Structure 1
Amino acid sequence: MYFHQLLLLIIHKFHGERSSTAPFYLLKGKKSGQTIQDVTYFKLHPFFSLYPKLSLDEYNGEILTLLKEGYIEEDESIINLTEKGTMHMNSMRDPQFNGWLYRGNEQMFWSRIALVIQTLSHFEANVHRYVPNQKNPDIHHFVKGYLFSRDYKSAEFYTNFRKQFLQLLENTKFENIHREIFVYRLSGYGRSGLTWEQLARYYNQPLLDIKLLFIESLHIALSIIHNEKFPDLLPLTKNVEVQTPLTESAMKTYQLIQKGHTLEDIAAIRFLKFNTIEDHIIEIVSAIQYFPIYSYISNEQVDKVLKISNRLQTKKLKAIREHVPHLSYFQIRIALAKGEGANG
């Protein structure tokens, strides 16, 4: 089961230093200081906000299955892989996700291309009245603007679009199942896209696996479109990539720092707890490589924290602080974020 293998990989990357809920918050894309810093600490960028609609009940059910099947073990809410779990994880191919870059926006790309294809197929059949497969008015507005800017009724545009779309699907980065699910979900003249339940029955795979494979197919498609020449597909990716890696709240803190405000000032200005502002600093350090940290911790202190972390093979703040008691937990967090950001 693909979702199980993905969960095992994420649990493995946490190195037995997080509770069983940490992968859930990662997959959901929780915008908390802990989850954001874990993305950097444990190099989990591909999986962040991979499945925002995942419910806690669904997730807990899968964790329970992994426990029952002996793939993971739990000790005081901390989860680890067993030998059996490690073997199962190692049997999976390399996943091709980029959750940090898209954060669910891949669905916007899908909505656009699905509506464009449906529209073109109906116009080719000379049918001008149909029920759009997308309900979002923003998608309708975008697609209408896209088509009107391209003389979409011309045979030349239709031929070029079709050629580029087929070229995209033929790319070797796709597995066959990626291509098939992508196409089976499409609607057109005289043809309705398959539902998730229909796809799950067809492939005899769990619903979660099918949905994750579909998300992966979108991430692969976006990567190909951005790295190769697809002039008629590229506009459909507009604003799909996250423009800033910072959450909205962290961005406001960052802007105030740039204006010269201290952390204490910012907490007062924004009516936020001081530790929330500290969380923002960790997020900023993780996301912005050249953000200056010298007012919080020296380069020598960063190096010392990183050496201790490497020697102990841990990111646990309490364990590290025993060796540098003169540093605060906040300073240690900055050092770890800075170190992993530089390495990642």
Structure 2
Amino acid sequence: MDRTLHFLLLFCLQRFNGERSLSAVYHLLSGKKSAQTLQDSKWFRLEKLFGAYKDVSGYELEKAAAELMTDQCLSLVGDRSYVLTEKGEEQLKHWLPSARFLQHLNGFLYHSVDTLFWYRLSLLVQTISNLVHKCRFEPIHRHEATFEWVKRYIFSQKRTASEWAHALYNELVDLLTALSDEEAEMLTLRLTSFERIGWTNEQLAAFFNKDSLYIQLMLQHVLHYMMERLVRDAASFPILHALARDLVSPVSLTRSAQKTYEWLQSQKDIEEIARIRGLKRSTIEDHIVEIAANVPGFSIAPFVDEKTRRNVMKATKELGTKQLRRIREAVGDHVSYFEIRLILAKAGEAGES
């Protein structure tokens, strides 16, 4: 696991550039849905890795950071905050071409649904394979909701087992053609049929001579590619599109922020929403920052004037930082932290530097 974890750590720390601690990397990779972590993923362009390694431990990251320090790839600049050394930059540059999982990985959008998509896909393939060969079988997943979903889906379609198999096979081949042979083979070997059990990540790691974390990220990358393509091109993949259509939302908001967004659409202001929901003003402000970062077309004009926006963006660029305190010192304390966060959130959503 070391090489891939070292790469993830170098990649995140380069983006954070000493402005966030190791804890921020932990919260990002594990997918903590706090206002700060959600904002960081946008501000530092790390959405791909949000929730990408849900089981990461703080100990693993501390150990990896210590090893990279020993290798002179990192330099400590604060309390558990690091920047990459020249050697670290060279190492990251050397590893980057082999990190193919970054191409389609989109943890911010799919981290909470990719497992359920995989359950549906793998159980559907297993079920159709066994129906064609008239075999009794034990479901590969003991996930009751998925079992019921697949059963309802199969019974809702007027197809014979062979028609199912033929159509499903053709859609999978068409979908995976855009991927490399290795990526397609990884997914295929994970699938269970009437005659073989799908391989584990550890077995795939041994077969491809990679570490298990690399395999995990590559499989997520493949699943995220599949979901994105299925939603975008539903007509070409009618069977597989059904697996993803109720899982993928174009906007990723926490449940509470979604409720605030609905009240904003009803023309309620911050104070009214806070009163209606029984929440602090600061909590509603957190929600609005989250909405600005994630809802295309959401205007921040009702909350911050254009002159302030330009001044904040100018200070951010000149200082080369996203540290709120330093930006506020530059623009003046008449500008609130909420306004600065909102401007940075919208800039991140728009891809501004």
Query: Quick check: TM above 0.5?
Result: yes
Corresponding residue of 1:333: 341
What is the aligned residue count?
Answer: 341
Q: Could you tell me how far 1:116 is from its partner in structure 2? A: 1.0
- Structure 2: how far apart are the matches of 1:264 and 1:33? 19
Corresponding residue of 2:47: 45
Mapping 1:286-305, distance limit 5 Å: 286-305=293-312
Give TM-score, length-normalised by structure 2.
0.88
Q: Could you tell me how far 1:270 is from its partner in structure 2? A: 3.3
Residues 1:123 and 1:102: Cα distance change in structure 2 (over 3 Å)? same
Which one-letter code corresponds to 2:108 in the other structure?
W
Unaligned runs of 5+ in 1: none
Q: Could you tell me how far 1:243 is from its partner in structure 2? A: 4.9
Alignment deviations for residues 136-193 of structure 1 (CA, whole Å, 9 cap, x no partner):
111112111221233343423321211221232232xx23332222122111112111
Corresponding residue of 1:3: 5
1:101 aligns with 2:135: no
Corresponding residue of 2:81: 78
Corresponding residue of 1:277: 284
Aligned match for 1:33, one of 27, 32, 35: 35
Q: Could you tell me how far 1:52 is from its partner in structure 2? A: 2.6
Corresponding residue of 1:252: 259
Which one-letter code corresponds to 2:17 in the other structure?
H
Contact 1:123 1:153 in 2 (8 A): no
- Structure 1: how far apart are the matches of 2:218 and 2:66? 22
Aligned match for 2:227, one of 222, 243, 246: 222
Aligned match for 1:136, one of 130, 143, 151: 143
Alignment deviations for residues 308-337 of structure 1 (CA, whole Å, 9 cap, x no partner):
111111111111112211212221111212
Residues 1:175 and 1:14: Cα distance change in structure 2 (over 3 Å)? farther
- Structure 2: how far apart are the matches of 1:230 and 1:25? 35
Residues 1:134 and 1:232: Cα distance change in structure 2 (over 3 Å)? same
Q: Could you tell me how far 1:115 is from its partner in structure 2? A: 0.7
Corresponding residue of 2:133: 125
Aligned match for 2:187, one of 156, 159, 182: 182
Corresponding residue of 2:247: 240
Which one-letter code corresponds to 2:123 in the other structure?
L
Mapping 1:147-186, distance limit 5 Å: 147-171=154-178, 174-186=179-191
Q: Could you tell me how far 1:283 is from its partner in structure 2? A: 0.7
- Structure 2: how far apart are the matches of 1:248 and 1:24? 22
Contact 1:71 1:81 in 2 (8 A): yes
Contact 2:14 2:84 in 1 (8 A): yes
| Helix, strand or coil at the partner of 2:330 | coil
- Structure 1: how far apart are the matches of 2:217 and 2:297? 34
Which range is displaced more, 317-326 or 63-72?
Answer: 63-72
Identity of aligned residues (%): 35
1:87 aligns with 2:87: no
Q: Which has the higher helix share?
A: 2
- Structure 1: how far apart are the matches of 2:271 and 2:229? 45
| Helix, strand or coil at the partner of 1:80 | strand
Which range is displaced more, 263-272 or 93-102?
Answer: 263-272
Which range is displaced more, 312-321 or 72-81?
Answer: 72-81
- Structure 2: how far apart are the matches of 1:90 and 1:16? 19
Q: Could you tell me how far 1:227 is from its partner in structure 2? A: 4.2
Contact 2:128 2:164 in 1 (8 A): no
Q: Could you tell me how far 1:33 is from its partner in structure 2? A: 1.3
| Helix, strand or coil at the partner of 1:73 | strand
- Structure 2: how far apart are the matches of 1:293 and 1:161? 45
Aligned match for 1:308, one of 307, 315, 324: 315
Q: Could you tell me how far 1:254 is from its partner in structure 2? A: 2.3
Give TM-score, length-normalised by structure 1.
0.90
Q: Could you tell me how far 1:264 is from its partner in structure 2? A: 3.5
1:343 aligns with 2:351: yes
